[in-house]
Structure 1
Amino acid sequence: MTATVTRSFRRRIDYQLLRWQARLDGAWADRVIPLVAMLGLFVVLAGTALARARSFETGSELGTWVQGAWQITTSRPAESTITGRHLLEPQLAVGFYGVAQLTRLVAAIPLLLALQSAALAAGAGAIWRLARQVCTLRVGAALAAVVAYGVHPTLHTLNLADVHPEAFALPALLWGAYATYRGRWAWALPLFLLAVSMRSDLGLAVAAIGGGLVVGGRARGGRRLVVAGFAWTALAQLVVQPMIGGDGFVHQDAFARYGDDGPGILWGMVTAPWEVIGDLIAHENLEVLVALLAPVAFLSTLAPRRLLPFAPVLAIPFVADVPIAGPEGVGHLVAPLAGVFIALPFALENLGRRNIERVTVDRRILAALTLAALTFFVLDAPSSPYSEPWAWGGRDAADGVRLEIVERLDRDERVRAAPSLVGELAARDVIRAVPTGVAPTASELTSGVDVVVLDEEVVATWDLGEDEVAELVEELEAQGFEEVAAVEGIRVHRRRGT
């Protein structure tokens, strides 16, 4: 009797699911659901990013791009005093010049953060279209892929890691891939140009998309993308960026253990393959690989023809001496993240059963994908419920002091401040960050600035005793700086006579 009731109940559930699936498989769903998904994701991403900025929890990376936008819109050379390099030298982010023009109309910090969140949210629409129109998946599978994208920890880390121009490239890569698979090259090419304009090595990501086309049976267009992507990255990094920086290959320090210049680095890799392999399989690299694939239950690996072309893109930061985890290294993961979600709909298609019009994927697979995505979001995302993001955005008395400092400092004053204040003070000719982690000397703090703002949150990272901090303050006075304010753990020191 019990078994009969159970079967009857399951049949009713299956019948209701089929009815809802039939309704959702209509054309209206393809118009409404992706728009709702993008809007909802934008609200979450923009809300958390703006709340973080309001609470002065940003870093100096935000200041780099805010100062760059101010320099661009005021016709100044885009030479960052925070990094000591031209804005275009690291990755030739020429596309940021267009974004910077918008800061003429809206305050830079909320605009850049909101635009970045909007760009990341737009990627959800591309994944929906890939799933529905290229892989012809049913609504349930497409929705599971979109949910996995929206809660992926790397996406949220990128959103909360201040401002990264490559974040604007992520949706361009996803929408560009969709356009190529649909044969809409008139849309794909501008999207790929936008992507590479935000980071020069993303030409390799474009080449990887081309490689997926080649192995997928669209060799002509794919080969052109491969050639164009590699050519752009080589031209940018070996010709254009050295012209801006004036020091040869701009990423030479990251590969210094292999050689002294571009050809030497390549030769060093060829002649020491075991060293390269050792770097590739280093423990921290495997952790990053798992962090990319585990939130999609490793399903993307079931579409190797779409995913493997992105392997060289990830291998380069793996063998380079650069951060690849956390806010500092998340920019290197934009292309691999795009690869994971380009491959995911194809993997679901491979796992499904094709009916007359659509591919049906087993509900247990979709449940496992959704559960994995939500679990890793809760465990690893910086906006996880464990971080209590609903409490972000508040301000305490110290934040009030920070706001007053921002309002009172003149724009022509040269300032060194805590990383959390750099963004707010960045619209000036000279802004530098107070170093964290290692205690600086008094001369390092005062070099080239008129005002030094010391924040107890930064001072605490120096691991100095109260007596040592007092000695540092005395040394600042000996350097010609007087303390003009000391409130809520924040000290302001101004050069005498300014």
Structure 2
Amino acid sequence: MSNLPKEKASRAIDWTGEHVVTTVHSARRRYDMALLRFQARLESTQADRFFPWLVTLVLWVVLALLAVARSKDLGLNSTLGHHLQALHLMEFGTSPEISELGINIFAQHAAFIFFPVALLARIFPPTETLLIIQSLAISLTAVPLWRIARGPGNLRIGASSALVFAYALHPSIQNLNLSGFHPEVFALPALLAAYLEGQKERWWSVGVLLLIVMTSRSDLGLAVAALGAVFVFEDKKRHGSAMVSLGLSWFLIMAFIVQPIIGNGEYPHLSSFSSYGTGSFGVLFGMLSDPVAVFGDLFARESFEKVLLLVAPVLFLPLVRMRYLIPVFPLLALYLVAEGGVDELSNPQQDVALLPFVFIGAVYALTRVGVPGVKRILVDKRVLAVLALTAVVFFIRDAASSPYEQPWDWGRRDVSDVARIDAADSLENYDRVLAHPSVFNLVAERETVKLLPDGNYYLPSLELVSGIDVIIFDSGISNWKEDEVRTFTHAVQTLGFKEEFNRSGITVFSKRP
């Protein structure tokens, strides 16, 4: 009799354990069934048609808000200012010669697509117009990426969504959105759409899209050639070969004929290869005669990190289908050996030509690792979960809009920001300005505006202030000692400038005629 309570307790424990297991199993089954029903609805033709556009709209709103907020707190770099100055000069019918660069804005990259953008910027506020259009171009890329995954890739909703999610969080995409303004951003959706249209044999549409790509930046002719090589590998040899010829011809004509004519008589980026020689043939001969130096630049630590940041956020999937990456290697090599200055965001504009091939390769990699279903390729949910997790990790680690950067605080102005704005408002439209980067975009819409160096301590020279009416000095970003700031101020005054404004570390010196 004494064992009876123990037996009851044991049966109660067994019943409770079985009940818990049954409940958990039932809950998981209900979750799986609900997920399957949701995916089935998305698999419908109507949902498949509108879902990528909904994603594009949401992504556009988020990216545009981030970019505009960063602009409000003066956190964007000077490339925005270069295009604001170009817009100002074009509006008044003047050649868009960028003071800081010393060349015509169209000589820099032959980005003729900037002409229609300039027309829009005349109607709406220029800064916000440039940033919102750029965010729109980035967001629109989600549509052809989705169509490729669902069409040629034949992937289900889950895999397609994971790829679009990885694209939206890719550090290069987030950094591009916050790196000023770059006309080459229009090539992102155009390249992917051109590949999609090529799969459908719509070659006239491909031609229009390739024109958008090539007019957004001259060296993207090499990306067009790479896309042509991809089509050649896919047995579309006639059209693919034509694209290779078109892309190479465009790049050579723009780089060595059109850009020198518009600019200063030579390819404007030859200085980026000065370590190999002088002049076009000198650089080419230098590369051929010293392959060790070329390989040293290709496999430098900075090059490794750049390549890693391209493919790692998509779980290295493109490496599974290398034939979609190999054609763009020459352009990647060109970027890696160039000596151009690297900004704090690692020049994300250079990734525009590379990312379409990365994601096309990722689509077909998932197709390969998946298994055929009744209608579409099935990819293990664990693979997709790891892909999404990897995208989140690299977003948090490397993106300019990472939570560590506290983007929810962007758009707020401290006393120094208010002082910068007041200093910019105190200028006359005709003033020729030399300003620190923190103020550059505020004063860019004028005929002459140059950047004041913001590095280590130095004294201003006559050459630095030649042809300048106003200097805007920001001690908040210079990290100079107080005595160094005082010495700089005295040196500026010795050169004939008078102090007109001084608040919260922002000083305005003027020497108007």
Normalised by the length of structure 2, the TM-score is: 0.92
Is structure 2 residue 467 aligned with structure 1 residue 451? no
Cα–Cα, structure 1 residues 417 and 326, in superposed 2: closer, same or farther, change >3 Å?
closer
Partner SS state of residue 442, structure 1: coil
Tell me which residue corresponds to 1:158.
176
Alpha-carbon distance in structure 1 between the residues aligned to 2:244 and 2:165: 30
Partner SS state of residue 268, structure 2: coil
Aligned residues: 494
Tell me which residue corresponds to 1:403.
421
Tell me which residue corresponds to 1:249.
267
Letter in 1 for 2:501: A
| The one of 117, 135, 142 aligned to 2:160 | 142
Alpha-carbon distance in structure 1 between the residues aligned to 2:234 and 2:396: 35
Alpha-carbon distance in structure 2 between the residues aligned to 1:403 and 1:273: 50
Partner SS state of residue 486, structure 1: strand
* 1:162 positional shift: 0.7
Alpha-carbon distance in structure 1 between the residues aligned to 2:362 and 2:47: 20
> Is the CA contact (8 Å cut-off) linking 2:419 and 2:503 kept in structure 1?
yes
* 1:323 positional shift: 4.1
Alpha-carbon distance in structure 2 between the residues aligned to 1:323 and 1:402: 26
Tell me which residue corresponds to 2:507.
491
Question: What is the correspondence of 1:66-85 to structure 2 with a 5 Å cutoff?
Answer: 66-85=84-103
Tell me which residue corresponds to 2:366.
348
Answer with 1 or 2: which has the greater Rg: 2
| The one of 127, 133, 138 aligned to 1:109 | 127
Q: How big is each residue's C-alpha offset from its partner over 1:330-365, in whole Å with a ceiling of 9 and x where there is no partner?
A: 222211122111222111111222234211111111
| The one of 377, 380, 386 aligned to 1:362 | 380
Cα–Cα, structure 1 residues 428 and 454, in superposed 2: closer, same or farther, change >3 Å?
same
> Is the CA contact (8 Å cut-off) linking 2:475 and 2:485 kept in structure 1?
no
| The one of 359, 365, 372 aligned to 2:390 | 372
> Is the CA contact (8 Å cut-off) linking 1:92 and 1:198 kept in structure 2?
yes
Q: How big is each residue's C-alpha offset from its partner over 1:441-475, in whole Å with a ceiling of 9 and x where there is no partner?
A: 32355221111111122332xxx432222122112
Is structure 2 residue 138 aligned with structure 1 residue 120? yes
Partner SS state of residue 49, structure 2: helix
Alpha-carbon distance in structure 2 between the residues aligned to 1:336 and 1:376: 18
Give unpaired runs (5+ residues) of structure 1.
none
Alpha-carbon distance in structure 1 between the residues aligned to 2:201 and 2:342: 34
Cα–Cα, structure 1 residues 56 and 123, in superposed 2: closer, same or farther, change >3 Å?
same
CA RMSD of aligned residues (A): 1.9
Alpha-carbon distance in structure 2 between the residues aligned to 1:433 and 1:85: 15
Question: What is the correspondence of 1:412-427 to structure 2 with a 5 Å cutoff?
Answer: 412-427=430-445
* 1:158 positional shift: 0.6
Tell me which residue corresponds to 2:5.
none
Cα–Cα, structure 1 residues 179 and 491, in superposed 2: closer, same or farther, change >3 Å?
same
Question: What is the correspondence of 1:21-420 to structure 2 with a 5 Å cutoff?
Answer: 21-323=39-341, 326-327=344-345, 329-420=347-438
Give unpaired runs (5+ residues) of structure 2.
1-16
Tell me which residue corresponds to 2:495.
479
Letter in 1 for 2:288: V
> Is the CA contact (8 Å cut-off) linking 2:438 and 2:474 kept in structure 1?
no
> Is the CA contact (8 Å cut-off) linking 1:255 and 1:265 kept in structure 2?
yes
Q: How big is each residue's C-alpha offset from its partner over 1:94-134, in whole Å with a ceiling of 9 and x where there is no partner?
A: 11122111111111111101111111111111110111122
Normalised by the length of structure 1, the TM-score is: 0.95
Alpha-carbon distance in structure 2 between the residues aligned to 1:142 and 1:419: 41
Identity of aligned residues (%): 38
